[in-house]
């Protein structure tokens, strides 16, 4: 730089140098933050995939099955079938209620197999097959 101030290089003040230094730090920080964020997102994607695959391999249960030796799920299924007067239009509805009472009686006596058998019969009486209720 010459003394007349006519230099081919632009002059830089201390504040300009600080500004450039701050820009370099910001660029470095942004790049570091972006890399870290990408790593975290990749990790979350992998963990999500593992969790999803784990859930998909678990056996599905509807909450009621026959022959499992509990009779409780059969009672729950029956109750869900008749709640709020549903299935009360079935021709065998009253017989179904009587069969349910027999099933509960067997359950209290500890005869779970008979309980399940009676509940299955009670359910059959109010279950529609092909859009129609059974009549016998």
* Angle between the N-to-C axes of helices 93-108 and 72-82, in degrees from 0 to 180, rounded to the nearest 10: 160
**Is the residue at 120 inside a domain?**
yes
Q: Which residues span the domain enclosing 89? A: 72-126
Q: Do both 82 and 116 map to the same domain?
A: yes
pLDDT tens profile 60-96? 665 556 666 778 888 888 898 888 888 888 898 999 9
Question: What's the pLDDT at 21?
Answer: 57
The number of beta carbons lying within 10 Å of the beta carbon of residue 81 is 15
Q: Do both 41 and 17 map to the same domain?
A: yes
Question: What's the pLDDT at 70?
Answer: 78
Give the chain's residues under pLDDT 50. 1-2
Written as one string, the DSSP assignment of 37-84 is: HHHHHHHHHHHHHHHHHHHHTSPP--S--SSSS--HHHHHHHHHHHGG
How many domains are there within the chain? 2
Q: Do both 50 and 76 map to the same domain?
A: no
**Is the residue at 135 inside a domain?**
no
């Amino acid at each position: 730089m010459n003394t007349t101030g006519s230099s081919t290089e632009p002059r830089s003040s201390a504040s300009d140098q600080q500004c450039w230094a701050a820009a370099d730090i910001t660029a470095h920080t942004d790049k570091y933050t972006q890399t870290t964020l990408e790593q975290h997102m990749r990790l979350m994607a992998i963990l999500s995939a593992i969790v999803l695959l784990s859930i998909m391999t678990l056996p599905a249960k509807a909450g009621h099955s026959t022959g499992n030796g509990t009779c409780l799920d059969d009672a729950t299924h029956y109750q869900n079938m008749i709640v709020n007067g549903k299935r009360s239009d079935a021709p065998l509805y009253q017989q179904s209620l009587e069969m349910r009472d027999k099933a509960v009686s067997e359950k209290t006596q500890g005869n779970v197999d008979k309980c399940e058998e009676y509940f299955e019969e009670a359910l059959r009486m109010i279950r529609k097959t092909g859009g129609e209720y059974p009549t016998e």
